[in-house]
Amino acid sequence: MKKIFSNSLFHFLLIGIFLFLLFDWVKPSYQEQDKIIIDDEIIARSIYLFRNDWGRQPTPEELEGLIERYIRQEVLYRQALKMKLDQNDELIRRRMEQKLNFITNDLSASSNPSDDTLRAFMAGKGDKYKIRETVSFVQIYFNPEKHKDVWKEALNILSSLPKDDLSPEERINLGDRLQISQIDKDIDQKRISAKMGEAFADSIMQAPTGKWYGPILSGFGLHLVFIENRQPSKDPTLAEVRQDVLRDYQYEKSQVLNEKVYSDFRKQYFVQFDLKDSAMLKTGIDKKLGNHD
């Protein structure tokens, strides 16, 4: 026995057995929730996102990098959850709320309401979808910085306009050039106001059709305008505004569904207030928002 215990090979064997037992004791024990499974769906999603960003399929090396990045992200995400780093984080809370809302919004967007449903929705919105009056006009512009008496110059041109047969482009050249278009087709008051100012738009909508009118003052200077034609406002058919109506219908449905989902979730939670601030107690917020038997 002394020979056996003094044999270096025996010592080496003992050390090996000890190390094996030690490794078996300290090695991580993987739980089911610690498994990271890479399936076809994850690979397909990685390829889809890459193709959206780069407009091509990833190479095998790039795909390997994408999968490795997914694994890294998943490892760090799960460890962060175990360390409870997600708690009391306002950004995470908002993102989770947003994702839940996205789910209900997708459900609403997937609905396919009938035309009768959309017509009924339109009828309940009053004049929201009414097609506004539009005008088509050409204008001659006078820059105050280029004329000694800009009003007199504009009035002189106005008095000569009915006597000639110039084209709209030729008439524009009787004045100064404006950096924006001086010929507008089928434009409503809202768009005119955004382009030229509210006072100018009001004057255009009141100007007579088929004759030159002005001068009209704007933030740019003075203008003479010729209203070629008008299209009166009208109640649209569903076909004319269907996309707008459908968008609004789905939005309202998503809002209703969001509130319904929240209401159902809210019933599962008991809210208890433990307020120490007397000022907060005076607001009665605990009675308004808390659950009481």
Complete DSSP assignment for 65-119:
HHHHHHHHHHHHHHHHHHTTTTTT-HHHHHHHHHHHHHHHHHHHHT----HHHHH
What does each of the 293 residues of the chain score in pLDDT, given as a tens digit? Answer: 555 445 555 455 555 555 555 445 545 555 555 777 888 888 888 888 899 899 899 888 888 888 888 888 888 878 888 888 778 788 888 888 888 777 777 766 667 888 899 999 988 888 888 888 999 999 999 999 998 899 999 999 888 887 667 777 888 888 899 888 899 999 999 999 999 999 999 999 999 998 899 899 998 999 999 998 999 888 888 998 899 999 899 888 888 888 887 788 777 767 665 656 555 455 554 555 556 54
Residue 112's pLDDT is what? Answer: 81
Contacts of 213 (CB under 8 A, 6+ apart): 207, 224, 225, 226, 227
Residue 225's pLDDT is what? Answer: 93
The CA distance from 103 to 109, in Å, is 10
CATH for the stretch 134-231: 3.10.50.40
Residue 71's pLDDT is what? Answer: 85
Residue 8's pLDDT is what? Answer: 55
Every domain of the chain and the residues it spans:
35-93, 94-126+236-293, 134-231
Residue 18's pLDDT is what? Answer: 53
Residue 202's pLDDT is what? Answer: 92
Residue 274's pLDDT is what? Answer: 65
Cβ–Cβ < 8 Å for 155, 215: yes
Could you give the strand order of the β-sheet that contains 222-231, starting from the edge strand earlier in sequence? Answer: 183-188, 134-142, 222-231, 212-217
Contacts of 177 (CB under 8 A, 6+ apart): 141
Cβ–Cβ < 8 Å for 230, 133: yes
| Beta strand 222-231 pairing with 134-142 | antiparallel
Residue 110's pLDDT is what? Answer: 67
Residue 223's pLDDT is what? Answer: 94
Residue 25's pLDDT is what? Answer: 52
State the sign of the Cα–Cα–Cα–Cα dihedral 182, 185, 189, 193: negative
CB atoms closer than 10 angstroms to residue 292: 8
